[in-house]
A = this chain, B = another copy of it.
Amino acid sequence: MPDIRHRVAISAPLSSVYEAVATKEGLSEWWTRGGVEGESSEASKLQFFFGQPEPAAVMEVTRLNPDGEVSWRCVAGADEWVGTNLTFNLTQTDGETVVLFTHADWRSPSEFMAHCSARWAYFLLSLKSYLETGKGTPFPDDLKF
């Protein structure tokens, strides 16, 4: 099954990057501002809103490991997302944390998947900007494309 995979290096400690992907407050700073509800703990669910009354995605948190892994399984939302698995793998190197992001197990390499691939890269650069400068570009401040 086709996967989206992106690697982005961030000048911040692993613990800071982890907080930004493992907590509602962190996710709100780079993906969707004020749009994260639910609970970020293993087996709990997170709802992500993008200006609509219904969540665009509901993720079951499948792994939270402060050593460097956050994983979700999409259980509701865009039809093509349901059943896909998302992972943020973090590795600390000299003064940097490398984020290896995977949005895996798509049913087909659709045009929507290609759209999401570019969108994820954009939001991972928002994550980098948030951690390096204090300011990300989450929805609704994001570039539309």
Contact = CB atoms under 8 A, between A and B. Distances in A.
Contacts of A113: 5
A125 interface: yes
A3 B118 contact: no
Contact of A117 (B111, B117, B143): B117
A139 to B, nearest CB: 16
Contacts of A102: 114
Interface string A16-44: 00000000000000000000000000000
Interface residues of A, number: 27
> Chain A: interface secondary structure?
mixed
Contact of A6 (B3, B114, B124, B143): B114
A5 B128 contact: no
Interface string A56-92: 0000000000000000000000000000000000000
Given A118-B121, A118-B124, 6 more contacts: A4-B117, A5-B113, A7-B118, A8-B145, A10-B145, A125-B145
Interface of A: 2-10, 100-102, 109, 111, 113-115, 117-118, 120-122, 124-125, 128, 143, 145
30 contacts: A2-B2, A2-B3, A4-B117, A5-B109, A5-B114, A6-B114, A6-B118, A7-B111, A7-B114, A7-B115, A7-B117, A7-B118, A8-B118, A8-B145, A9-B145, A10-B145, A100-B111, A100-B114, A101-B114, A102-B114, A117-B117, A118-B121, A118-B124, A118-B125, A120-B121, A121-B121, A121-B122, A122-B125, A125-B143, A125-B145
